[in-house]
């Protein structure tokens, strides 16, 4: 049976992906090592980045995004990972204008729509 994915579902998945990675980037994630590692004394309860668990859905989306063109990746980062308006985020990631970022974002979302459909139908 063929499963049809909508652009709305793709955007919802990208929002979940963005929220997951935002929480890791802004200090709510895991430290690479503790201060006591340099002193040789172990500390309890501190997990390293190597022990971080990434949900399967987030890992799949990350892999699909990594296969996109660099411009598409930057547009996704600007829209789903960065705070502020798309125009502000677009300038920060190197786009000339908001319009340019929107063009690459639509291209990225459509590419992911095809990839999501392919992955779901192959399972």
Give the domain extent around 70. Answer: 7-26+55-121
Task: Determine the pLDDT at residue 118.
Answer: 84
Task: Determine the pLDDT at residue 49.
Answer: 52
| Residue 96 burial class via C-beta count within 10 angstroms: exposed 0-12, middle 13-18, buried 19 and up | exposed
> pTM of this prediction?
0.76
Q: Does some domain include residue 105? A: yes
For residue 2, which phi and psi values (nearest 5 degrees)?
A: -90, 130
Which of the residues in the chain have pLDDT under 50? 29, 33-39, 44, 46
CB 33 within 8 Å of CB 48: yes
Q: Does some domain include residue 1? A: no
Number of structural domains, the chain? 1
Task: Determine the pLDDT at residue 5.
Answer: 87
Rounded CA-CA distance 54/83 in Å is: 22
Q: Does some domain include residue 77? A: yes
Q: Does some domain include residue 67? A: yes
Kindly give, in sequence order, each residue whose CB lies less than 8 Å from that of residue 116, ignoring residues fewer than 6 positions away. 5, 9, 10, 13, 64
Task: Determine the pLDDT at residue 38.
Answer: 46
């Amino acid at each position: 049976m063929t499963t049809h994915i909508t652009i709305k579902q793709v955007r919802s998945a990208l929002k979940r992906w963005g929220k997951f990675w935002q929480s890791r980037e802004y200090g709510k994630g895991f430290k690479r090592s503790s201060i006591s590692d340099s002193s040789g004394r172990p500390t309890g309860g501190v997990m390293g980045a190597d022990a971080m668990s990434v949900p399967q859905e987030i890992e799949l989306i990350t892999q699909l995004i990594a296969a996109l063109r660099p411009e598409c990746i930057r547009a996704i980062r600007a829209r789903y990972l960065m705070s502020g308006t798309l125009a502000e985020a677009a300038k920060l990631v190197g786009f000339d204008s908001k319009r340019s970022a929107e063009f690459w974002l639509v291209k990225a979302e459509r590419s992911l729509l095809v990839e999501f459909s392919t992955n779901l139908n192959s399972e």
